[in-house]
Amino acid sequence: MQPRIDYQKFSLLLMAGIFLGGVVFVRLRLLGVPLERDEGEYAYMAQQLLQGVLPYTESQSMKFPGIFFAYVGVLAIFGESPVAIHLALLFINLATAFLLFLLGRNLMSPSVGIMAGVSFSVLTLSSALQGVWANSEHFVLLPAVGGILLLWVAQDKPKRFFFSGFLLGCALLIKQHAVFFCLFGMIYLGSRLVTKSHPLNKPFLTIGLFVVGGLAPIILTALIYGVTGNFSDFWLCTIQYASEYVFMTSPGEGFENFKYNFAPILESNFSILWLSLIGLASVAWRKNGKGEYLFLFGFFVCSFLATTPGLYFRPHYFLLWVPVLSLLAGVGIESLVSRLSSYRLKTVIPAGILTLALGLPFFLQKNFFFTLPVFEATRMIYGLNPFSVSLEVSKYIRDRSQKDDRIAVLGSEPQIFFYSQRRSATRFIYMYPLMEKHVYADQMQRKMVHEIEGAKPEFIVVVKLSGSWVTSRPDFSPLLKDWAQEYLSREYEISGVVDILSHEKILYKWGEQARGYHPRSSYHLLVHKRRA
Amino acid sequence: MRIAISLFLVAVVTFLGYWLILDQRNHSKAIAYIKRGDALSEMKRYDEAIENYQQAIKIKVNDAKVYNNLANALSKKGKLKESIAYYNEAIRFKSNFADAYSNLGIILNRQGQFEEAIKQYRKALQINPDLFRVHDSLAILLAQQGNFSGALYHYQQAITLYPGFSKAHNNLGSSLAQQGKFEEARVHFEKAINIDPNYIDAKKNLELARSLSMEATSRGLLSR
């Protein structure tokens, strides 16, 4: 009997190995994709932290600081470049896939573990999920899956519950959305309190340790801000403004966001997601493992809830749903063959289904995965957003300014600060909060004007691209626009123009050439240098 | 039985997923037309913009914004009747679409239907009281109708919302001058000029207000 089981595992492992190899190949090929604006923000904040500047003290962000701490590690270990950041992402992704394999193996079976791990790697590579960019969700998933794994295997060892809580708390410290993973942990422990099938030995100690572990990272961070006298900055950015931000979208708009951002993910990965659906439905014909199904179902619901805050449903938010969908895909394949009696079929069919399910996403995204050069791949996902041109603009600024000079960007392109290694003249490295409809917007605009006038930045980059702002609002006071027009014409002169004529054609004009040049496209960047 | 129900649910969700993908493809096509339409409008190539918006409407019939943008392009071409019809369509699909109400108000105003225009402006402001340009437009109409208190209120709202709104300061000054409040009028003309030093109308108005103010003062002295 023994060799038969080995054949089954061997065929699955072989297929998993081939697909993991494919994932690693694609990630290595696309290491050089330019940073998108969220990555730029994390990298810039981390760069600042490495120079001793705490997040929120000089730059505004509504994200919890865990992602900046994680990026500090990335920059310190791998280096300060897009390639280094994306290489770190490759390792983080593989580590999360391994933890998911362990969770699947412990929860259901080794086959489910293998299928879940490799499905996760393929799904998270998807262009529809913007998977090759190091968004914070990737960093949330590593501790979150680790915490959930510990929760399942903890049995009655109090230490493990503490560490489970701690890891989930770390996930929360990286992105607020992870609060739903913490909630899942609480619900799971609560269910063990009330059910008799798998009761907790020392319920209050267990839950207490889990809660203490979960709160520890946040409390420690709050203490750091309290001790350094920066708690109010931390509170304003991550709680007060973030609370405004999550209530800006109506349920109707939220539904539209979900529909139109989830559909491309579904389209390019339908084979895996259909297996997840089968996995969810298979509770009807599987005779055992009801407890495991309940665990999976809770994980499924809470993971979905983690994508919902603010109802923006941005493509990369769905990464938070991927671990449980991958586990369910593994369960789905196993359930499809659970009633087969022939050993040969039980060996061949799962490997065949896995090959088909994972092969289709590769086939459907072959251009992005294997053909397009990195800049074109970026434009395919982000359109005319100036992520690749930021490299040129930053190089120009870095070559013509001193290390201590400050710069400002009137637009939401924080990657320019990171690439040019120049500090922002204002705390507002994103324009979105200044343009949105909330009580702080007007005050933020005035503060930005005040800070820029005070800092007298050497360069000011004006980004004329809607993606860098938000949709123009007729009810918004054009204070910033009026001020910029007047201030720039008085104190600055044009020293660079980037005219984005199309996806393929971008014109760069510098110095004298730029001064006499009028952009032909309404999508352009203007680099202003302070008059001597 | 349980298996049958679960398989039925799988079929339903699969169908929903398929519908979602088809709907998204249509949405993407419509968005491409809308973006092209917007870009062409910005370049003042309104005929082509109108074509693109109409293509978008064929694919996605219930998007109020497209109707609004199409109506904007039509109004630029002087096709006011058609544009009114499309603004009304936009409002039909989104009853709280403040922009469509205010745009409709502008067109009705151009057509000389002042009462109707005032109604539309008021509706826009009911939905979004922060539309400072609509406050200004409404105030102009109210002043024309002799409703100075209403006009003053809306001019004040406009400049509270956007203190750098030179046109509203100038308009408010004119309204105050019409009521004989030359000193108050002068303050607003001066503010308008401070904001925009090249504002010729405000400069002329300031001169006029100064001379009328002096005239009124001397007349007052004589009568005393």
In the beta sheet, which residues pair with residue A409? Answer: A461
Tell me which H or E stretch contains A417: helix A415-420
- Report yes or no: B93 at the A interface, CB cutoff 8 Å: no
Together in a domain, B31 and B119:
yes
- Return d(Cα A103, Cα A157) in angstroms, integer: 17
Query: Which residues of chain B have a CB within 8 Å of the CB of A313?
Result: none
B10 close to A (CB below 8 A): yes
Same domain, yes or no: B117 and B144: no
Question: What would the pLDDT profile of B139-157 be if each residue is shown by its tens digit?
Answer: 999 999 999 999 999 999 9
Number of domains within chain B: 2
Q: Which amino acid appears at position A40 of this protein?
A: G
- State whether A266 and B39 contact (CB < 8 Å): no
Helical ranges in A317-404 per DSSP H = 322-337, 343-364, 366, 374-382, 389-399
Is B185 a domain residue? yes
Contacts of B124 in chain A (CB under 8 A): none
Distance CA A2, CA B40 (A): 70
- Asked, for residue B12, whether it belongs to a domain, the answer is no
Cβ-nearest to A474 among B7, B39, B99: B99
Q: What is the mean pLDDT of residues B41-65?
A: 91
Interface test with A, best of B127, B162, B194, B195 (most A CBs within 10 A): B162
Q: Domain boundary at B86, B106, B128, which?
A: B128
- Interchain pair A474, B133: CB under 8 A: yes
Instruction: Note whether B162 contacts A259, CB cutoff 8 Å.
Output: no
pLDDT of residue A476: 67
A501 touches chain B (CB under 8 A): no
B107 and B169 together in one domain: no
Beta bridge partners of A526: A462, A497
Q: What is the pLDDT of residue A1?
A: 46
Q: Give the model's pLDDT for residue A192.
A: 86
Interface of A with B in 466-485 (CB under 8 A): 474-479, 482
- Continuous segment of H or E residues that includes residue A313: none
Please report the residues numbered 11 through 30 in chain B whose beta carbons come closer than 8 angstroms to any beta carbon of chain A: 13-14, 17, 20-21, 23-24, 27
Boundary (domain end) residue, out of B113, B128, B143: B128
* Residue B1 belongs to some domain of the structure: no
Global ipTM: 0.79
Looking at the domain assignment, is residue B53 inside a domain?
A: yes
Tens-binned pLDDT, residue by residue, of chain A (532 aa): 455 556 878 899 999 999 999 999 999 999 999 999 999 999 999 999 999 999 999 999 999 999 999 999 999 999 999 999 999 999 999 999 999 999 999 999 999 999 999 999 999 999 999 999 999 999 999 999 999 999 999 877 888 999 999 999 999 999 999 999 999 999 999 988 887 667 777 888 899 999 999 999 999 999 999 999 999 999 989 988 888 888 888 999 999 999 999 999 999 999 999 999 999 999 877 777 778 889 999 999 999 999 999 999 999 999 999 999 999 999 999 998 887 778 788 888 999 999 999 999 999 999 999 999 999 999 999 988 999 999 999 999 999 999 999 999 999 999 999 999 999 999 999 999 888 877 888 889 889 999 999 999 999 999 998 888 876 566 666 778 888 988 999 999 999 999 998 888 999 999 999 998 999 888 899 999 999 8
* Tokens 């027009």 belong to residue: A485
**Same domain? B65 vs B122:** yes
Q: Flag whether B9 is in a domain.
A: no
What letter would DSSP give residue A526? E
Taking the whole predicted model, whether its pTM rises above 0.90 is answered as: no
Within a domain: residue B11? no
Cβ separation of A273 and B42 shorter than 8 Å? no
C-alpha distances (whole Å) from B115 to each of A334, B96, B119, B124, B141 are: 71, 20, 6, 15, 9
Q: A–B: how many Cβ contacts below 8 A?
A: 63
Query: Above 70 in pLDDT, residue B224?
Result: no
Q: Are residues B121 and B27 in the same domain?
A: yes
User: What domain range is B41 assigned to?
Assistant: 23-128
Number of CB atoms found within 10 A of residue A382's CB: 18
Using CB atoms, which residue from B13, B42, B133 is nearest to A277? Answer: B13
User: Is the domain of B102 the same as that of B168?
Assistant: no
CB-CB under 8 Å, A277 with B132: no
Q: Which of B10, B13, B41, B166 to mutate to test the interface with A (most CBs of A within 10 A)?
A: B10
Q: What is the pLDDT of residue B223?
A: 61
Same domain, B171 and B220: yes
DSSP characters for A192-236?
Answer: HHH-SSS--SSHHHHHHHHHHHHHHHHHHHHHHHHHTT-HHHHHI
Residues B57 and B123 both lie in one domain: yes
* Closest by Cα among A90, A132, A19, A28 to A362: A19
The verdict on residue B10 lying in a domain is no
Q: Are both B33 and B121 inside the same structural domain?
A: yes
Q: Determine the residue among A282, A475, A481 to mutate to test chain B binding: the one whose Cβ has the most chain B Cβ atoms within 10 Å.
A: A475
More confident site: A480 or B105: B105
Structural domain contains residue B64: yes
* pLDDT at position A473: 63
Q: Are residues B100 and B137 in the same domain?
A: no
Cβ pair A54, A228 in contact under 8 A: yes
Whether B188 and B198 map to the same domain: the answer is yes
Smallest Cβ–Cβ distance between B24 and the set A264, A285, A479 belongs to A264
Residues B116 and B43 both lie in one domain: yes
In CATH, what number is assigned to the domain containing residue B60? 1.25.40.10
How far B211 CA lies from chain A's nearest CA (Å)? 32
Rounded CA-CA distance B19/B130 in Å is 39
Closest CA to A152 of A286, A291, A281: A291
Rounded Cα distance between A489 and A474, Å, is 25
- From B84, B106, B128, give the residue that closes a domain: B128
The residues with which A460 forms a beta bridge, in sequence order, are: A408, A528
